[in-house]
Amino acid sequence: MVEALRQDGACSPLLARLLAGRDIRTPDEARRYLNPSPDDLLDPLLLPDVGLAVDRLRAAMTRGERVMLFGDYDVDGISAVSIYKELCGRLGLDAVVRIPRRLSEGYGLSRTAVLEAKAAGVSLLITADCGTTAFEEIALARQEGVEVIVTDHHQVPHELPAAVATINPWRADSTYPFRGLCSAGLAWKVAAAVALQPWGREAQASLASWTDLAALGTIADVMPLRSENRYLAAAGLRVLTQGQRVGVRALKKVAGMEGKPVGVGTVGFVLGPRINAAGRMGDAAMGVELLTTTDEAKAARLAQHHQRDNEARRAIEEGVLREALAQAGRLDLRTTTAIVVAERGWHPGVIGIVAARLVERYYRPAIVVAIDPATGIGKGSGRTIQGIDLYQALTECADHLIQFGGHRMAAGLTVQAERLESFQSAFSEAAARQAGPDTFEPALSIDADVTLGDCSWNTLEEISRMAPFGPGNPEPVLVLRGVALADARQVGNGHLRLILRAPSMPSLTGVSASGSMTLPAIAFGQGHRLREALDLSAGMDVAFTLREDRWQGERRLQLQVKDFLPAASLQPPRRRPAAGESRPEVSAAGAAPV
């Protein structure tokens, strides 16, 4: 496999090893992986019920119907609704946007929204990132003469709602080859299916420009960056970098990112949280306005509002996290398989982020519940680790809950306060049934052994060809074995700066007094390991990713250290499964559907 990739001449021996480790077997597979193209996209009409949805949209055009776009209040739902709104604009459809308020209405399609749609003269309602389990609400809509198209990627129950179309790749009868599309990705595929029709050609010219919205949802919802998602993410990041969308330019400006490139991290930690903030603190519909407006002044006002909401969210989050950590800290991790913390008065808008922080800290599935002091009803949000299917665990605890929904890595629930203790016990038992011997031991997956001589600008350039990185396509982790330590010191806010040395090798970044090659390395958050590093100065194994570092106008290579151990301690590289299951991936803040 590796030899075939090397002989093709499309990549270096190291890149060939990295691709082979991701189960990329042939030169043709390598070309498709390294150069995501719209030509490699799957036929959108293969998705369940997309053909029915396209026909219904055609009928709506013909009859001049009014459409309601109903979405979730997270980035995925907001992005999906934004795609549908612009698609409806291209088709000449009158579309109104309806996104529930998290604090007063909660997640998903409601009777209130259905009756509002009827009163507003809506005859077609399209959901985005919800609807798969809205049986009663969709039955009511049908009774009221409002037909529904569901766009959702959450787990599917045994039955489907009475919708005109239920577009969900997780349907049991789905033969679609890829299940990893988020709702924004599904909305983009619906638009692509419309663009194939003679009457839908107006949408064709906009498909490329809508990849930025698909990328926002895909990355913020922590979807696997494989198959079609690689194209949507790569193309969308280019559009986001170019700032073609007025609202994106305004949001980048308030975030201090004006004119800068947008990568996966920018979406996950800069743009995504700000878009999410409106839904967490108030009205998520403003996110759709921000992403679809063409008015520069309006975009600037909306971006400032999102910035203020995000600052308020961060302040509230810090307080809830502090209290949640205090509760979790009293648990015995030797016997704890899952964490459930709850408190009256916690803000429901930040519990998903706090759950993600608990998972990062304790490497256990975690659910954070905010209890309404007036009603005694708790709204919970959960995150999990690889190896523990959160949705399945909640299914086994359904008798203790009022309701729940979500997917493998993130979910939401509603529970009576008096049932919390029994739920916690049942949830821990459900997690334990899924766990294996090493489930709760985070492992670092190694992609390849290298030498300091391999750490070159050419290597960095070749690894960059494998981007975008994220779940399903993590950034390659390399290992240097037996390197010596030339210097180590604490820097910044608890970081560890190292200078690694390998004797008798050609210099890339400079020559030390002894004539040996050295490279700088940074271990973020590991300043407390200074003494350990000094004790290993004669020889250590270092796991790292290769980075470009800019400091005072200078550009240099730098190793970003993931871990270091005594020489010969790290396990040899192993093949990385295509699904990325060998490395635990923790859901990022703001990635949950609830």
Write out 175-205 in H/E/C secondary structure: CCCCCCCCHHHHHHHHHHHHHCCHHHHHHHC
Distances (CA, A) of 574 to 20, 22, 445, 455, 583: 10, 10, 8, 20, 11
pLDDT category at 580 given cuts 50, 70, 90 is: very low
For the cut 60, the answer to whether the pLDDT of residue 510 exceeds it is: no
Q: What is the pLDDT of residue 557?
A: 92
Q: What is the pLDDT of residue 47?
A: 98
pLDDT per position as a tens digit, 514-557: 446 889 999 999 999 999 999 998 899 999 999 998 877 788 89
Q: What is the pLDDT of residue 494?
A: 92
Q: What is the pLDDT of residue 289?
A: 98
For the cut 50, the answer to whether the pLDDT of residue 477 exceeds it is: yes
- Contacts by 107-110 with C-beta closer than 8 Å and gap 24+? 107/72, 107/73, 107/405, 107/412, 107/593, 107/594, 108/72, 108/133, 108/134, 108/137, 108/405, 109/70, 109/134, 109/137, 109/138, 110/137
The percent of residues above 70 in pLDDT, for the chain, comes to 92
Question: Quick check: helix, strand or coil at residue 405?
Answer: strand
468 within 8 A of 263, measured Cβ to Cβ = yes
- State the pTM of this model: 0.88
Give me the residue label for tokens 């979807």: 223
- Range name among 7-21, 163-177, 334-348, 479-493 with the lowest pLDDT average: 7-21
How do beta strands 94-98 and 122-128 pair? unpaired
Give me the residue label for tokens 């890595």: 409
Cα 175 to Cα 141: distance, rounded to the nearest angstrom: 29
- Range name among 205-209, 480-484, 579-583 with the lowest pLDDT average: 579-583
pLDDT per position as a tens digit, 101-112: 987 888 889 999
pLDDT per position as a tens digit, 206-215: 999 999 999 9
pLDDT per position as a tens digit, 449-465: 999 889 999 999 999 99
For the cut 90, the answer to whether the pLDDT of residue 588 exceeds it is: no
For the cut 80, the answer to whether the pLDDT of residue 1 exceeds it is: no
Average pLDDT over residues 32-57: 96
Instruction: Look at residues 51, 28, 76, 43 and name the one whose alpha carbon lies nearest to residue 177.
Output: 43
Average pLDDT, the chain: 90
pLDDT category at 257 given cuts 50, 70, 90 is: very high
Domains and CATH numbers, the chain: 2-32 (no CATH), 44-307 (3.90.1640.30), 329-434 (3.10.310.30), 448-566 (2.40.50.460)
For the cut 60, the answer to whether the pLDDT of residue 347 exceeds it is: yes
C-beta atoms surrounding 306 within 10 Å? 26
Average pLDDT over residues 409-415: 93
Q: What is the pLDDT of residue 2?
A: 60
Average pLDDT over residues 275-296: 94
Cα 328 to Cα 591: distance, rounded to the nearest angstrom: 22
Q: What is the pLDDT of residue 509?
A: 36
For the cut 90, the answer to whether the pLDDT of residue 297 exceeds it is: yes
For the cut 60, the answer to whether the pLDDT of residue 22 exceeds it is: yes
Residue 35 backbone dihedrals phi, psi, to 5 degrees:
-130, 75
pLDDT per position as a tens digit, 109-159: 999 999 999 999 999 999 999 999 999 999 999 999 999 999 999 989 889
Q: What is the pLDDT of residue 578?
A: 38
Q: What is the pLDDT of residue 592?
A: 32
pLDDT category at 8 given cuts 50, 70, 90 is: low
For the cut 90, the answer to whether the pLDDT of residue 584 exceeds it is: no
